[in-house]
Amino acid sequence: MIKYTFTRIAVFICLLCSGHGVQAQQAFIPREPSPAANVSQIIGISTISVNYSRPSVKGREIWGNLVPYGWNVQGFGAGNSAPWRAGANENTVLHLSHSATVEGNLVPAGDYGLFFVINKDNSGEVILSKDYQSWGSFFYDPKQDQMRAKITIRDVPVSTERLTYTFDILDKNTAELDLNWEKKQFPVKIVYAVDEIFLANALELFKGQTGFTWQNYNAAANYTLTSKTNTDQGLKWADRAILMNPNFTDISTKADLLALSGNNAESEKLMKDAMAIATENELNNYGYQLLGNKQFDKAIAALKANAEKHPASANCWDSLGEAYALSGDKQNAILNFKKSLSLNPPEPVKANSEKYLKQLGAM
């Protein structure tokens, strides 16, 4: 035991004196028996990452032995009662690209030493320390804590030989970071305010080169539409896109935002303006979008306008026939499918028209 302690101290002093630090050591010396690893997860436009070392069980008794229960005074270092380093070797480091809520605590963006405490009854704690550059928990100082939170550690049926961090539960705003080792799992819930982060980031980016193309303004406006958040700002971005390049895409985005805001009359008027300048493909896709939403009357109107604008397009008549068929108007569906077939359609369009005509009993 004494030999082990002196060896560790010697290695530590060498690292301090080398001038290269831990990262340089990782760069040219194989990390055995606990190799270094990194895992990351993107939530919205934000990133969570963990840099850690991966010890193996190797038949050892882990909990209460290799990893003691509760807080423990280390045999080397500051002599403070300390938590577990949540891995091996130097500190396990959690990186948050933006401010996040970790187990209910608001944590600023940055790098943090990640520590855990496990008790015999599977109660425990997760700790984030502003001191993330120390070696293990030898120099743990509670004054450097950014946060502490209670967690419940899970017993799992399948053993994990090498300590592994995973992201097992994900949704739009949330990731559960899990430490898995032996038959225990340490869960940590991390939440990003995705919509607020997007808004702040977009406003900043539009001050630079991002703000020189209408597509970027339309994409940002469309995000507020699909997420149903910050729609007032979305309308401003849509206006900016239209000012730069009025086209079906950006005008229809604004029309949809107006409808979402309850301004249906202005939305419908603007959508007519968009349809008037739409290409054949744009109007056809819009018709199918309406069909997907079961807005059959509006879909028929859009696809009928497209067929009238492009009377030589077999695809336009085929699409109109499909709209009538889906709405239950068999007679008009048959007329339009036959019109499509009379225009020598390409094979996919021909196959679709013939399929429907067979279903409708007209072939």
pLDDT at 31: 65
The amino acid at 113: G
pTM exceeds 0.75 for this model: yes
Q: What are the φ and ψ backbone dihedral angles of 13, each rounded to 5 degrees? A: -65, -40
pLDDT tens for the 363 residues of the chain, in order: 333 333 343 333 333 333 344 444 455 566 668 899 999 999 999 999 999 999 999 999 999 999 999 998 877 766 788 899 999 988 999 999 999 999 999 999 999 999 999 999 999 999 999 999 888 788 899 999 999 999 999 999 999 999 999 999 999 999 999 999 999 999 999 999 999 999 999 999 999 999 999 999 999 999 999 999 999 999 999 999 999 999 999 999 999 999 999 999 999 999 999 999 999 999 999 999 999 999 999 999 999 999 999 999 999 999 999 999 999 999 999 999 999 999 999 999 999 999 999 999 998
Return the half-sphere exposure (C-beta side, CA atoms, 13 A cut-off) of residue 117: 19
Q: Where are the domains of the chain?
A: 1-30, 31-192, 195-359
pLDDT at 249: 97
DSSP string, 71-100: -EE-SSSS--EE-B-SSSSS--EEEESS-E
Q: What's the rounded Cα separation, in Å, for the pair 166 and 331?
A: 57
Q: What are the φ and ψ backbone dihedral angles of 279, each rounded to 5 degrees? A: -75, 170
Q: What's the rounded Cα separation, in Å, for the pair 277 and 255?
A: 14
**Nearest Cα residue to 190 out of 260, 114, 244, 135:** 114
What is the CATH topology of the domain spanning 195-359?
1.25.40
The set of residues, in sequence order, having a beta carbon less than 8 Å from that of 70 and lying 6+ positions away, is 117, 118, 119
- Contact of 247 with 277, CB cutoff 8 Å: yes
